[in-house]
Structure 1
Amino acid sequence: MAQRTLLVVLFDGVQSLDVTGPVEVFSGAERHSPGTYRVRTASLDGGPVRTSSGLTLVPDGSLTRASEPHTLLVPGGEGTRRPDPRLVEWLRSAGPRARRLVSVCTGAILLARAGLLDGRRVTTHWAYCETLARQHPAVEVDPDPIFVRDGDVATSAGVTAGIDLALALVEEDLGRDAALTVARHLVVFLRRPGNQAQFSAQLAAQTARREPLRDVQQWITEHPAGDLSVESLAARAALSPRHFARAFQAETGMPPGRYVDRVRLEHARRLLEDTADGIEEISRASGYGTPEAMRRAFLRTLGASPAEYRRRFRPAPVT
């Protein structure tokens, strides 16, 4: 198996965890399977860079002297907001020569500025998805997943999602056993599916302004197996069903049915991840009623059955 060179781009204002998270994953894979990865870091002039948290990172060398990598990884951070034009030009020139382009968090903004994401489906940190889409209309921005693969381009959401993406790439390159070993050493899950939402239901929706609607939101979260029909929820808020549905969407940003779907899916995911309960028991506890109804919801939203989700997400016990 040929060794893959991973080149990580460093710049002032980089987010330190965007760098160290993936580097730890690929370095761990190299320790597991020697000769598979060669991890290098480089800045424009080869000098140290100061991260957004104040840490100083010393690169292995300069970008201008770096050999063409198999995988070019561009992290995010405050430094992507007003990047050095020379860095953008270097990416525009060097990016197409890499076998695989990877960005973490707002590193996607740098790739977009270099014209490397046109016509691609990508993601980035939720707070910058709208900005990326507005400034680069030729880029298809999906704000929901934690990472997205589009051919030889892979982009991830904020910070820790870079670890999820790196584990997925190691699994693709070396197989599940290698990726699982790395995940165990890092004490992280292998692995969150890429199309898992960046947000929980409670974070994805806005908090309603009016107390009765806030109380309904909380009640839904605490009673996913209850009667969560619009009629029942409207009665709890002392509103007519039509008025309730309009007010709920206006104040939370989503219809009550979608909010209920998100809460139930999130509840089922947590039970799959954290308990040994059976699929049938979890489907009832999460409000689906039947395993088949839960299976359809998982396939529609996550692209995996509940059993497959549990297998991917819940690590085997470390022995």
Structure 2
Amino acid sequence: MKKVLVPLADGCEELEVVAITDILTRAGATVVTAGLQAGPIKASRGMTLVPDTTLAQVQDDLFDLIALPGGLPGAIHLAEDSILHVMMQNQDLHNRTLAAICAAPQALAIAGLLTNRTLTCYPGALDGFDCQWTNTGAALEIDRNLITGRGPGVALEFALELVNQLYGPERRAQVADELAG
């Protein structure tokens, strides 16, 4: 069974959190939501989310995928978290999958993981960041072990691509068919 981490911070985009966790759970993954600190998270549109654990409690665990939801100021909080930086750097060092949607690539930039990478993000989310990347404006980008999505409007497509990367195209198609009814 694949194990996925979804870090949560106050101000995260709830649509992206729900799409990622729901779709990956449907695919059969064990999804762990981890707050930057203990307690409920207040998402960007006011929804309260209750993480399974804290990031500190899972910092030594291995994950097949770390998937960062965007939203503001959630992405900024993720970008400022030193535990998450180390986890993402280790994930990349061991060529395990990283994913970020919307403004969340900011956390990857701060952790130094966007040099010479092709990615997409919410328009303007990386303005002012010192990183080298190519933005094609596509809804999704895949560059080796990095998957990025433009924003909440592509959250389902993004989550289905995460299923594809973890389980392959057949499982992705099965999950997509189940969603269609």
Q: TM-score, normalised by structure 2?
A: 0.87
Alpha-carbon distance in structure 1 between the residues aligned to 2:144 and 2:111: 18
Aligned to 1:186: 179
Kept in 1, the 8 Å contact 2:19–2:155? The answer is yes
Alpha-carbon distance in structure 1 between the residues aligned to 2:21 and 2:134: 25
Aligned to 2:30: 38
Kept in 2, the 8 Å contact 1:8–1:74? The answer is yes
Aligned to 1:54: 46
Aligned pairs for 1:147-162 within 5 A = 147-162=140-155
Aligned length: 175
Residue number among 133, 142, 148 corresponding to 1:140 in the alignment = 133
Q: Output the aligned Cα RMSD.
A: 1.9
Kept in 2, the 8 Å contact 1:145–1:157? The answer is yes
Per-residue deviation, residues 135-165 of structure 1 (Å, max 9, x unmatched): 2343213141011111111111111323212
Residue number among 21, 26, 29 corresponding to 1:28 in the alignment = 26
Amino acid at match of 1:38: T
**Larger proportion of helix:** 1
- How far did 1:40 drift? 0.6
Q: TM-score, normalised by structure 1?
A: 0.51
* Structure 2 residue matching 1:102: 3-state secondary structure: strand
- How far did 1:186 drift? 2.2
- Is 1:113 aligned to residue 107 of structure 2? no
Q: Structure 1's 185 and 61: CA in aligned 2 closer, same or farther, altered over 3 A?
A: same
Alpha-carbon distance in structure 2 between the residues aligned to 1:157 and 1:185: 24
Per-residue deviation, residues 193-224 of structure 1 (Å, max 9, x unmatched): xxxxxxxxxxxxxxxxxxxxxxxxxxxxxxxx
* Structure 1 residue matching 2:77: 3-state secondary structure: coil
Residue number among 64, 73, 90 corresponding to 2:67 in the alignment = 73
Alpha-carbon distance in structure 1 between the residues aligned to 2:10 and 2:152: 17
Per-residue deviation, residues 64-83 of structure 1 (Å, max 9, x unmatched): 11123111111101124642
* Structure 1 residue matching 2:73: 3-state secondary structure: helix
Q: Structure 1's 174 and 70: CA in aligned 2 closer, same or farther, altered over 3 A?
A: closer
Greater Cα radius of gyration, structure 1 or 2? 1
Amino acid at match of 1:4: K
- How far did 1:24 drift? 1.4
Kept in 1, the 8 Å contact 2:116–2:134? The answer is no
Amino acid at match of 1:92: H
Aligned to 1:101: 98
Kept in 2, the 8 Å contact 1:68–1:97? The answer is no
Aligned to 1:8: 6
Alpha-carbon distance in structure 2 between the residues aligned to 1:44 and 1:140: 27
- How far did 1:84 drift? 6.6
Kept in 1, the 8 Å contact 2:101–2:151? The answer is yes
Give the gaps of 5 or more residues in structure 2. none
Kept in 2, the 8 Å contact 1:18–1:159? The answer is yes
Amino acid at match of 1:122: L
- How far did 1:100 drift? 0.9
Kept in 1, the 8 Å contact 2:112–2:131? The answer is no
**Structure 1 vs Structure 2: percent identity of aligned residues?**
28
Higher relative contact order (CA 8 A, sep 6+): 2
Alpha-carbon distance in structure 2 between the residues aligned to 1:146 and 1:85: 22
Runs of 4+, deviation exceeding 3 Å: none
Amino acid at match of 2:64: H
Aligned to 2:55: 63
